[in-house]
Structure 1
Amino acid sequence: MKAAVISAPYRFNIEDREAPSPASGEVLIRVRAVGICGSDVHGMEADGGSRRPPGLIMGHEAAGEIVAVGAGVDGWKAGDRVALNPQLYCGHCHACRRGWPNLCENGVTLGSARKQLTHGAMREYIAVPTRQIYKLPDNLSFDEGATLDFVGNAFHVMNRSNSQLGDCFLVIGTGAIGLVAVQLARLRGAGKIIAVDTSPAKLELARKFGADRVVNPLTEDVLAAVKEETDGYGADVVLEMVGLPSTYETAVRAAKMQGTVMALGFAANEVTLPIQPLLFNEVTIVGCTGFSFEGPVVLDMIADGRIDVKPLITHEYPLEDIERGFEALLDKKSDAIKVIIHP
């Protein structure tokens, strides 16, 4: 099989590798679509480079079709179309027993080396346990199925926010996850949605998805805009989707008294938070990672049109052109949001 193997930051060798065989309880999947995630980009850079080292086959946002099943597999067969949950979990540790598979103490992520080298889906075939797959609705393409992970992240953030009808949401960062969050905030009954990004194209899409106010921090003061839209009080729920020290500072300062900052963005290993507004406004910060058992609901909501992912898929390349996919994401003029690779 063909596989894209990292040789250096943003550089890949297309190698011939032996296709895996499904072990007991596993299925072998012919990968048809795999997305390049923002974490893949950050994982090649200084703060996260250990997560995407040379020798790794990356890729965790994937969909494909089953071509073989291992011993003991029931309910799945060759030809079934599936989307993958890339966070491999054990099912028996303390977190898994509590229903938190995304926090599995023994868990690893496909296409990452954060805990151990775990090859991902930037290849023609991958074998995974059946607990990691979800059936694709018939009307969803493989490209749409490959959006499960980032849509699931946005879904999980929203579920943990405990927001209420009429809340004001501030979405900092309108990449793929942020743009889904805008849609979910509207579905959740937001009273107002403010979206922040430096890309005019992404802000225009955020407006299309339901943002009432869009703010470009290169030309406008974010905190002033938030105060203007909230009678000076701030946002009830701030969704931090960027992960930089400056954006986390903005998130805390933009939250209202007893407001909530949902922390998902991760582009730097450490950030410094302004302690005065955090303490004196009793702001709550909630950490988020991955998604739990929301997968089937997420796919159903994409299938019935409540979540629209098609405008987010801006670029597609064959596996041999994976470097062009990264170049598109790194080129601010390309307006790339989600790049899909076809192995």
Structure 2
Amino acid sequence: MKAAVIRAPYRFNIEDHPVPQPGPGEVLIRIHAVGICGSDVHGMEADGGQRRQPGLIMGHESAGQIEAVGPNVTDWKAGDRVAIDPQLSCGYCYACERGWKNLCENGVTIGSSRKHLTHGAMREYITVPTRQIYKLPDNVSFDEGATLDFVGNAVHVLNRSNSKLGDTFVIIGTGAIGLIAVQLAKLRGAGKIIAVDTSDSKLALAARFGADRTINPIKEDAIAVIKEETGGYGADIVLEMVGLPATYDTAVRAAKMQGTVMALGFAADQVTIPIQPLLFSEVTIVGCTGFSFEGPTVLNMIADGRIDVKPLITHEFPLDQIESGFEVLLDKKADAIKVIIHP
């Protein structure tokens, strides 16, 4: 089979590898679609590139079709169309026993080398345990199925926010996750949604999805506009989807008294939080990572049209043009949101 193997930052070899064989409780999946995530880009740069090391087959946003099942697999069969949860959990640690598989103490993510090299889906075939797969509804394409991970992350963030009908949302970062968050905030009955990004094209899409006000902080004072739009108080819920010191600073300052900042963005090892507004406004910061039990909800909402992922898929490339996929993502003029690779 063909596999894209990292040899240097943004440089890949397309190599021939043996097709893996499914073990007990596993299935062999023919990958049809795999997305390039922002963490794939940052992972080659942050931490000295430790999250995406040379020798790794990356790719954690994927969907495909079962080709074969391993011993003891009875609930799945060849031909089933599936999306893959990339978070491999052990099932027995403190977190897993409580249903927090995204916090598994022994967990790893496919396509990452953060804990140890765990090959992902930028190849023609992959084997995974059956607990990692979800059946695709008939009207959900492989490309749409490959969005499970980042859509699941957005759903998880909104679930943890405990938002109420009429709450004001500020969403900082309108990449793939942020644009899903705009849709979800609308579905949750937000009183007002304010989107912040430096890309006018992404802000236009945020407005299409339901943002009432968009702010490009290069052109406007984001905090001043947010205060003006919220009667001088700030937002009930602020979603930080970027992960830089400047954007976390904005997030805390944008929250109202006893407001909540949902922290998902992760592009820098450390960020500085403005302590005065945090303390004197009693702002709550809630950490978020990955999704947990939301997989079926995500696919059902895509299937019935409540979540629209199609406009987010802006570019598609075959596996042997994977470097072009990264070039598009790195080119600010390309207006790329989600790049899908077809092995």
What TM-score does the superposition give when structure 2 sets the normalisation length?
Answer: 0.99
Aligned equivalent of 2:142 = 142
Report the equivalent of 1:52: 52
Alignment of 1:261-340 (within 5 A): 261-340=261-340
Q: Which residue of 2 aligns with 1:63?
A: 63
1:44 Cα offset (Å): 0.6
Structure 2 CA distance for aligned equivalents of residues 163 and 212 of structure 1: 17
1:316–1:339 contact (8 Å) kept in structure 2 = yes
8 A contact 1:25–1:73 mirrored in 2: yes
What is the match of residue 125 of structure 1? 125
- Contact kept? 1:27, 1:66, Cα under 8 Å: yes
Q: Distance in 1 between matches of 2:20 and 2:302?
A: 31
SS in 2 for 1:51: coil
TM-score normalized with structure 1 length: 0.99
**Which whole-Å CA distance do the structure 2 matches of 1:31 and 1:90 have between them?**
24
| Aligned 8 A contact 1:43 1:51 in 2 | yes
- Deviations 1:2-25 (CA, angstroms, capped at 9, x unpaired): 000000000000000011100100
> Partner of 1:165 in structure 2?
165
Query: 1:283-314: CA deviations, max 9, x gaps?
Result: 00000000001101100000100000000000
Q: Does 1:72 align with 2:72?
A: yes
* Deviation for aligned residue 1:167: 0.3
Answer yes or no: is the 8 Å Cα contact 1:47–1:267 preserved in 2. no
Tell me how far 1:49 sits from its aligned partner: 1.1
Name the amino acid aligned to 2:185.
Answer: A
Unaligned runs of 5+ in 2: none
Residues 37-116 of structure 1 mapped to structure 2, 5 A cutoff: 37-47=37-47, 49-116=49-116
Shift of the alpha carbon at 1:74? 1.5
Question: How many aligned residue pairs are there?
Answer: 343
Secondary structure of 2:262's aligned partner:
strand
Query: Equivalents in 1 of 2:143, 2:232: separation in Å?
Result: 42
Opposite residue 143 of structure 1, the aligned amino acid is D
What value does the CA root-mean-square deviation take over the aligned residues? Answer: 0.5
Contact 1:26–1:73 under 8 Å retained in 2: yes
Matches within 5 A, 1:12-27: 12-27=12-27
Tell me which stretches of 4 or more aligned residues in structure 1 moved more than 4 Å: none
Q: Distance in 2 between matches of 1:140 and 1:55?
A: 33
User: Which structure 1 segments of 5+ residues have no match?
Assistant: none
Match of 2:245 in 1: 245
Identity %: 80
Rounded to whole Å, the distance in 2 between the matches of 1:19 and 1:90 is 24
